[in-house]
Amino acid sequence: MNCIITVELGTYGVKVFVYSLDGQVIGSMKGHYPTFHTQPDYSEQDPEQIFITTLYVLKNVLNEYIHPKKHTVASICFCGSMHSVLAVDIKGNPLGNAITWADNRAKKEAQQLRDSPLGKKLYGETGTPIHPMSPLVKIAWLRDHDRERFASTSKFLSIKSYIIHQLTGEYMIDYSIASATGLLNIHTVNWEDDALQYAGITADKLAVVAPISSTAGNLKKAYQQSLRLPADTKILIGSSDGCLATLGDGIIKGEGKASITIEDSGAVRVMGTSVLQDEQMRFFNYLLADNYYISGGPTNNGGNIFEWFTRQFGDFIHQFDMEDSMGQLLEDATNVPTGSDGLLFMPYLLGERAPIWNANAKGAYFGINIKHERKHFIRATIEGILYEIYSIGKTLEEQRPITSLSVNGSFGTIPFCSQLIADIFNKPVQVRPQLHSVSFGAYILSATEMGVYQSLDDTAVKPAEPLHVFTPNEQHHQIYADYFRIFERLSDKLADEFEAISNLQQKYAHSDKSLTHDKP
């Protein structure tokens, strides 16, 4: 039997899925790799560790589900997180760690560019909001603050491009991840001269831009032998996790529909054949394929924040007990009234992107009184993450009406969270059977390339019908609407205090070694 493999390079780990040609999951495995926060605004990963983990998981999947049953791998499709930057030398060797989307070290460069006429011009041409997440300003930061590495760099790659290069020797970047660099003109689909000039590089310092269904040549002989795969196994360069999650939710013809992803980070997205024009530069517009744009807003603070809460306040000793602890915390949260008895949480532990685009934003609990217990803080943490998601969706509705929502990612697996989203948005929420929407989107892309579907349009009606529909509770929505107004005002009013505390954290960072930690 022919099958399709998808490789999802997420923020904190890799997931490998095996699909039959009709979209049934045959098997899956995952592996994890750490992120290093050596300073308050730094988020880095070891590219070699990511590659070794990916290879290990892929090999185990092949040995468990493919080779013993004599299946044939028709294609391997890659998907990855956006906005990473890895400098490599002329031989493709990494020059240090990769800088991830969550890294805020370039916030001063981003703010200066955002406030300039050039920043507004580049936003219109590239579709990428001007923010330290953008590889555009990350490269500019390296130019000004790490001159030796910048001068030694042969290519600036995304993590996905690096993994594909390791396997095949090709330097390629797909439309969607290229358009998330802030360096690609999404209208001409060429590297943008003004952006290149700002970053201080030429186009040959970047990978070759290619459609998401492009192949990246043959596996290197060493990996053909190691993985026991033939040389002609198709290696599809694929797309970004966000774009494929939207595709996997089946909203390619998504009039009135939006997709919410809450995994480590989060986003609210819509798909269309035109970009969203916004004078305040609050939305991204990423090119998925010719005439298809994924538009929306991202948050830095999704499931990673609830994981943070569990690490700090959950009842567990060993790492492998953490999921049980998260389950217990969620159960405790269900025993707290809607709105957490007036306790609000600002989830900005990693700064924030949409809609406030403030890299200095910090987390805070507000409204604490003597009656609040740990369970209130648990529920308030979840509600705060979802208030932020709502603030993105509410802003997005200024541009396009949204009548229904699809939820995917880790929060989509938790009925309690899906119901809260329905109540806060006051809209029905659909959760599809294939909760791993990113991988399923990669399957759709691969299957379309193989002719299973006639086109991406054709795939919109193919995903299975929603397994669960969560209907909003009007009474709960009114309570949430009251608290959200305070949440929204706090996000605005605390801007000066966010900057002040951020400056102090930077000032005293080197005197406190506890600020350096490694997240497994």
Please name each of the domains of the chain with its CATH number.
Answer: 2-232 (3.30.420.40), 250-506 (3.30.420.40)
Q: Which residue has the higher pLDDT, 511 or 265?
A: 265
- Kindly tell me if the per-residue pLDDT of 520 is higher than 50: no
Q: What is the pLDDT of residue 435?
A: 64
Mean pLDDT for the stretch of residues 489-494: 97
What is the C-alpha separation between 362 and 501, in angstroms, rounded?
8
Confidence check: pLDDT of 360 > 50? yes
- The rounded distance, in Å, linking the Cα atoms of 8 and 53 is 12
User: Quick check: 169 pLDDT over 50?
Assistant: yes
> For 401-414, what is each residue's pLDDT tens digit?
999 899 988 888 89
Instruction: Say if strands 98-99 and 266-272 run parallel, antiparallel, or are unpaired.
Output: unpaired
Helix residue spans in 6-129 (DSSP H): 47-61, 107-114, 117-126
Q: Please count the residues of the chain.
A: 520
pLDDT over 80 (residue 156): yes
Helix (H, G, I), strand (E, B) or coil at 289: strand
pTM to 2 decimals?
Answer: 0.88
Nearest to 86 by CA among 167, 144, 15, 171: 171
Q: What is the pLDDT of residue 434?
A: 63
What is the predicted pLDDT for the residue at 510?
63
Q: Give whole-number Cα distances, 374 to 5, 290, 362, 407, in Å.
A: 43, 50, 21, 27
Q: How many CB atoms lie within 10 A of CB 29?
A: 17
On average, the pLDDT of the chain sits at 92
Give the residue from 489, 485, 480 showing the smallest Cα distance to 426. Answer: 480
**β-strand partners of 191:** 184
Own/partner long-range contacts of 20-24 (Cβ < 8 Å, ≥24 apart): 21/74, 21/447, 21/450, 21/452, 22/452, 23/434, 23/440, 23/443, 23/444, 23/447, 23/462, 23/463
